[in-house]
Structures are given as C-alpha cells and as structure tokens.
Amino acid sequence: MTAFSALNTSISGLAAAQRAVDITSQNIANVNTPGYSRQQIRLSSVGSTTAAHFYTGDNSAILGGVKIDDVLRVRDAFLETARVNAGATKEALAVQASALSGVEGLLNEPGDDGIQAVIDDFYASWHNLAANPGTSRDAAAGQVLQAATALVNQLHFVSSGIDERWSNAQSQLTATVNDLNQATADLAVVNQNILEGAVDEHPINELLDRRDSLVRTIGELSGARAVVKTDNTVDVMINNISVVSGNRALPVTVAGATSIGGVAADPPHLMSGVNNAPISGGKLAGLLAALGTDIPTVATQLDGVATSMRDAVNTLHSAGYTTGGDTGLDFFSGTGAGDLAVVPETGADLALSVEPGVVDGGNAEAIADLALDENAEAVLGGPGPSVRLRALASEIGTKLQSLNRAVEVQDSVFATADAAINADAGVSIDEEMTSLLMYQRSYQASARVISTIDELLDTLINRTAV
Amino acid sequence: MIGNRVTQRMISDSSLRGLQANLSRNAKLQEQLSSGRLVSRPSDNPSAATSSMQLRTQQRLDTQYLSNLGNAAGRLNTADSALQDISSLLLRAKELIVNAQDPSLPDAGRDAISAELIVIQKGVTDAYNTQWLGRPIFGGTVIGSLTIDPAAGYVGNDKPVTARIARAVSIRIDVSGVAAGADVIPGLLGDLAATIDANAPDLTGLQDQLDAMHQQLLTTLGDVGARAAQVVSTKQRVDNEQLDLKTRISQNEDVDLPQAILELQSSSVAYQASLGAAGKILQTSLLDYLR
C-alpha cells in the first residue's frame, strides 16, 4: 500500500460523502412534495487490485475506496398499486354520493315544506270543499285550485332541479374526461422522456415520480390499471382498452344522451375511438352511475308520483258532476312531474257532486279520501302518490346512507394505503438530519485522512535525510 | 396504520385526518342542535324519515278532521236550535187548537186563532229554511238555498249530506226535511187555520196528525242531539290522536338535547385534544436539538 493510493481512497470517500449530502439535500428539499419518493445513495467498497505488491511483497488486499453504485428511489410498486386502486374506489363512491345528495336535498323531506306537505294540503282543500258546498263554495273551490297549483309547482320545481343536477353531472363528466385525456397525454410524454433518459443514462428518478403521480391521477379519474414495463415506462388500460401505450395516448370521448330524457334510450358512456370504453372505477364510474342510473331513477319515480296523482284524481273527478251538471272532466293533465298541469280554470269546473243536479260534496269527499293510502290504492289498483313518494325518499335515503358509509370505509382504506406508501417512501426529516450529520462526519474524516497523509509525506520528503 | 418507519408527513397527514374527522363530527352535532332535528334528510335515517312523512300526513288529516268536526258541530247545533224553535211553535199551535175546540168561543176568537196559526205557519216555514253557510240544513242536496219555496212548497230532497270526521268515519251533518216534517207540517198548519175559520170545526183528524208529526220532530231532535254528542266525543278522540302524533313525530326526528349537548361537549374535547397533540408533535424534529 502506498500513501498515494490512500489519497485516492480518501478522495473517493470525499466524493461519496458529497454526493450523499447532495441526495440528502434533495430529500429535504422535497419533504413536502406530493408524490416524491425519497432517494438513497447506494455505495459499495472498491475491492483490491489482484496483483501482490511488487516492492513490499504484501499481498493483502489493497483498498480502492468507495464507489457510488446508484441512487435508489424507494418505492414499493405493490403499495403503489394498492393506493391507486383505493383512490379509484374512493373517488367513484364520493362523486356518486355527492350527486345523489344534491337530489336528496331537493326533496326537502321529511319536513313541513316538502312534496308530501303540498299533497296533504291538496287533499285537505277538497275536504273543505266537501264541507262547504254552499255560498262559501267559491272560496273553498279557489282554495282547491290554489292547492293544486302549489302541488304542481312543487313537482315542477323538484323535477327541474333533478334535470339541472343531471346536466351539472354531465358537464362534470365532460370536464373529467378532459382531465383524463390531459393526464394520459402527459403520461405518454413522460414515457418518452423516461426512454430517452435511459438511453442517455440521465437520472430518471424524478421522472418516475412524475410517472407514478400521473398514474395515480388517471386511476382516481378512471380506475385504470397501469402495467410497468421493464424499461420503466407504463402502459395504462381501462378494462382492456388501452389509453396509454408507450409514448402514445389514446383519448377517450363522451357519448350518449346529453339530457336526462334520452338516458333510457342511450345512457351516457365513454368511447375510445369507435370502441366502447367501459369504465368500472374512479370518478368517471361514479359520474356514469349517477347519470345513467341514480338520478334518472329518482326522476322516473317522481314522474310516478305525478302520474299516479293525476290518474287517481282524474278517475274520481271525471266520474263526478259540477254544480252546472257537467261530468267527465279531468282535473290534472300532463305526462310527468315536469309538465303536470291543473285543468279547471274556475271553481265552477270542479266536479264536487256524486249526482247531477244536486250539490252534495260527496265527490269532493271521495277525492279528499285519496289521502288514505288504501283508498288511493283501491282507485288506482296500485300504489298511490304518497306511497310512491315515501318509497322514493326511502330508496334515495337508503342508497345514500350506504354510499356515505362506503365512502367513510374507503376513506380509511385509502388513508391506510397512503400511509403505507408514506412510511416506505416518505422523507423523514430526523432521518435526513442524521444522514447529513453522518455524511458530514465522513467527509471530515476523509479530509482528515488526506491531511494526515500530507503530514506523512511532509515528514518523508522534507524531514528525512536532510 | 403506522408502519415501522414513521415520517413527518405521515404524522401531519394523520393529524389532519383526525382533525377533519373531529371537526365534521362537531359540525354534524352543531347542525342537529341548531335545527333541533336528528333526521333532516332521508339519508340520516331512511326508515325514520319515511315514517315521519307518514305521520305528518296523518297529522294533516287529523287537522282537517278537526276542521270538519267544527263544521259538523256548527251545522248540527243550528239544526238543533231550528228544530227546538219549530217544536215550541207547534206546542203553541196545539194549545191554540185546544182553545179553538171550546164551543163557547166566539167567531172573532176563532178568527184570531186562525190568524195566529198562519203566523205560526210562517214562523215554522222560516225555521225550515234555516241556512248554514248558504246551504239549507233541511233541504238535503238541493242546489238552491231554500227548503220550502214560498210558491212551490217543499223543494228539498232527502239525500244525506255527510262529513268525514275521522279516519273512515262519516257522519250525516244535515237533517232530513222529511223526518223533520218540512214537507207536511206547514201544509197541516195551513189546513188547520182554514178549518178553524169554518163554523163548526172538526179538528180531531188534523190534531192527531199534528201530534204525530210533532212526535216525529221530537224524535228527529233526539237524533240530532245524539249525532252532536258523537261529534263531541270524536273531537276528543281526534284531539288526543293529534297530540299522540305530535309526540311520535318528535320522538322520530327531534334531537335528544341533553344527549346531543353531552356529545358535542365530548367531541369538542376530542377536537381540542387532537389540536393540542398535533401542535406539540408537529413542532419538534431533530433540528431543534442540533447545534
């Protein structure tokens, strides 16, 4: 061993310590960067040259210092996949729950100003008419018409509110698809950069972080599955439809109904080129579920409330007689909650009597009695408006309650997956500070070795045989 | 959740999550306390929400039944007093008829009795035309507002007017003009007046008829009284039911205040504790101890 080789050893130590401090400073700088994976320097000792030393005959190993193998990016692919999946499920549930809760808010049930309250008031107004068929009839008949108008207006309000919620969700779908296409295009570029970086042997750890965070975004948006290839690029598939393949991104488009009326014929869906792109996870799946099933179901059920109300009242009303002796008159017209309308214009058009030529209020009483579920069912041969409305509220409530619970559960699943990644790949300031100290000390020690050798050489060169 | 390696980010994330959870629990309790309601949306408790809707429908119906009961009571009371008026007029008529049969009565006396009977006939007719909110109470379901038309006589029909006073309970709220004698008594009084005017009146047949009609009227009066009593007892029942419904709705959807306040208390303590813990643990790192 020569003094000079020890110098070289020390220099490699200095270089390694410096590089390690670099890495540590990178880690500390990115302690709060989302998606950053901590990096670790990997060192190995350099072995001896094989030949025995010529002058000393010492054939023990000659130390060659330290070598920087590479800079390791700490990230567990399995944990990452678990996080992407958990994120996709969480987003799907959360967006579905939020769409449905907007509709739930419209119903205003249970309370004194929901649909049920105006239905009850409507029936009560017929009771008043039945009780006052005499001179106070005009006032009572006016009350019936006002209550009917209030009922119709309330149904219109809720129905148009539902349509609006649907349109909002539809715009959200378009915006989300744009986000998805942006993310897949970005990922294709990153894939290209990774390939180029690998060829030029540039460090690509930061690119890999960028890649993983794009995969997370894509996963949260669409529940897509990413496949990491040996060259570190990823391909992304949504249910076997490729959206990113190497440096190519295949944009997804929105197709299907653009208003709630068209859902039954052609529910909103996504296309990749000319193929259907079935989505089963992520924000898009939640939006599609809300657009294709949840909101239209509520709209249909509300229409059921309106049409059963129309049919029940019309059946009885058209069988009765007005004071003028007219019969066969409808009370409600329209085809659903959105266009239900009141037919009679004045109180004289109300068929309040069971028989012609008398004022008995019996028909008004029969209509008022529709308030009892069994009477409405007897007239309709099926569930009446109140029963349907309660079923609607109960269904929406149950669905939303279970969605909310699932969101809570999925939140904690996601939090666990995220914490697992943070535990593995996150930067610990304590750890970095300790490393910093360690590398600082090793730098100082290597420097000390150099100055020691310098002193040795000084002794040898300047003090010997002078 | 916490693995082998713990990083600052994990601690801050989990602190944040804990704070969020505590804060949203606080917000929920706050909403319950300020609205006073445990169930303000169907998703809070679907079954409670739907039974609340059903209970509210029943409550609204009961309110309407109470209003119908008030209407029925008013109508029956009006009928009752009209029938009592008629009854007392008939008593006076019967008295006059007995007087008229006194053989020592001079012609002028009989004339006076006949004239008074005509007045009574008018009074009785007016009583039969008693109205309730524009409807003749003895006229059945006739379109006009008179039971006895001055020209055409009795124009009423015998069809019942009913009111729903409780779930599946209807009561007749008018009085049959036939049962009350509206079709017979005015004519009978006219006949009597005409007969008394004659010289040697034989009133026995007419007197018997009037007695029978009066008896029938008194029976009808009893029937009206019985129906009025039914209205009163039904009102009691519906009142009770409404109170019961109110209690059930409240049990169903209202907040149990002491419980909610206690929960809010303990939840805000938890929130403060997590704030304190986060504040303490997030401040420190190795940096504080290195020179």
Residues contacting A44, CB < 8 A, separation 6+:
A66, A67, A69
Burial class (CB within 10 angstroms; exposed 0-12, middle 13-18, buried 19+) of B25: middle
Residues contacting A363, CB < 8 A, separation 6+:
A316, A317, A319, A320, A321, A351, A352, A353, A354
Tell me the pLDDT tens digit for each residue of B149-204: 888 888 888 888 888 888 888 899 889 999 998 889 999 999 888 888 776 667 88
Tell me the pLDDT tens digit for each residue of A329-382: 999 999 999 999 999 998 888 998 888 888 888 899 999 999 999 999 999 999
Chain A residue numbers touching B159 (CB-CB < 8 A): 355, 358, 360
Q: Using CB atoms, which residue from B4, B50, B132 is nearest to A393? A: B50
Asked if A365's CB is within 8 angstroms of B164's CB, the reply is yes
- C-alpha A350/C-alpha A330 separation (Å) is 9
Within 13 Å and on the Cβ side, how many CA atoms surround B41?
A: 19
Q: Is the dihedral of CA A213, A216, A218, A224 positive or negative?
A: positive
**B20 — contact with chain A (CB < 8 Å)?**
no
Q: Using CB atoms, which residue from B9, B41, B46 is nearest to A394? A: B46
Q: Tell me the three state secondary structure of residue A70.
A: strand
**Residue A174: pLDDT over 50:** yes
**A400 — contact with chain B (CB < 8 Å)?**
yes
Q: Is the dihedral of CA B261, B267, B268, B269 positive or negative?
A: positive
Which of A388, A442, A407, A404 lies closest to A13 in space, CA to CA? A442
Tell me the pLDDT tens digit for each residue of A415-451: 999 988 888 898 988 899 999 999 999 999 999 999 9
β-bridge partners, B132:
B135
Pairing of strands A248-249, A241-245: antiparallel
Tell me how crowded residue B206 is: count the other CB atoms within 10 A of its CB. 18
pTM score, whole prediction: 0.83
Q: How far is CA B274 from the centre of its chain?
A: 56
- Please tell me the predicted confidence (pLDDT) of residue B87: 95
Tell me the pLDDT tens digit for each residue of A247-259: 999 999 999 999 9
Chain A residue numbers touching B163 (CB-CB < 8 A): 130-131, 365
Question: Amino acid identity of B224?
Answer: V
Look up residue B76 and give its two tokens: 């029956």
Find the mean pLDDT for residues A237-248: 90
- C-alpha B248/C-alpha A393 separation (Å) is 19
- Please tell me the predicted confidence (pLDDT) of residue A288: 95
Cβ–Cβ under 8 Å, residues B74 and B81: no
- Please tell me the predicted confidence (pLDDT) of residue B1: 41
Compute the residue count for chain B.
291
- Please tell me the predicted confidence (pLDDT) of residue A57: 53
Tell me the pLDDT tens digit for each residue of A71-99: 899 888 899 999 999 999 999 999 999 99
Return the percentage of chain A with pLDDT > 90, whole number: 67
- Find the residue in B nearest to A405 (Cα): B43
**Residue A56: pLDDT over 70:** no
Find the mean pLDDT for residues A111-124: 91
**A221 — contact with chain B (CB < 8 Å)?**
no
Q: Is the dihedral of CA A173, A175, A181, A184 positive or negative?
A: negative
Residues contacting B236, CB < 8 A, separation 6+:
none
- Find the residue in B nearest to A427 (Cα): B7
Asked if B132's CB is within 8 angstroms of A401's CB, the reply is no
**A369 — contact with chain B (CB < 8 Å)?**
yes
- C-alpha A233/C-alpha B7 separation (Å) is 29
Which residue positions in chain B have pLDDT lower than 70?
Answer: 1-3, 199-201
- Please tell me the predicted confidence (pLDDT) of residue A135: 57
Asked if A422's CB is within 8 angstroms of B9's CB, the reply is yes
pLDDT mean across residues, chain A: 90
Q: How far is CA B58 from the centre of its chain?
A: 13
Asked if A434's CB is within 8 angstroms of B164's CB, the reply is no
Asked if A361's CB is within 8 angstroms of B161's CB, the reply is yes
**B63 — contact with chain A (CB < 8 Å)?**
yes
Residue entry with tokens 């105006």: A118
Asked if A124's CB is within 8 angstroms of B60's CB, the reply is yes
Burial letters B270-279, b for 16+ CB under 10 A, else e? ebeebeeebe
Out of A37-46, A126-135, B103-112, give the one with best mean pLDDT. A37-46
Distance from CA of B172 to the nearest CA of A (A): 11
**B34 — contact with chain A (CB < 8 Å)?**
no
Distance from CA of A2 to the nearest CA of B (A): 38
- C-alpha B79/C-alpha B71 separation (Å) is 12
Distance from CA of B116 to the nearest CA of A (A): 34
Q: Using CB atoms, which residue from B1, B49, B54 is nearest to A397? A: B49
**Residue A133: pLDDT over 80:** no
- C-alpha A187/C-alpha A251 separation (Å) is 12
Distance from CA of A359 to the nearest CA of B (A): 5
Q: Tell me the three state secondary structure of residue A238.
A: strand
- Please tell me the predicted confidence (pLDDT) of residue B246: 92
Chain A residue numbers touching B5 (CB-CB < 8 A): 423-424, 426, 428
Higher pLDDT, A64 or B99: B99
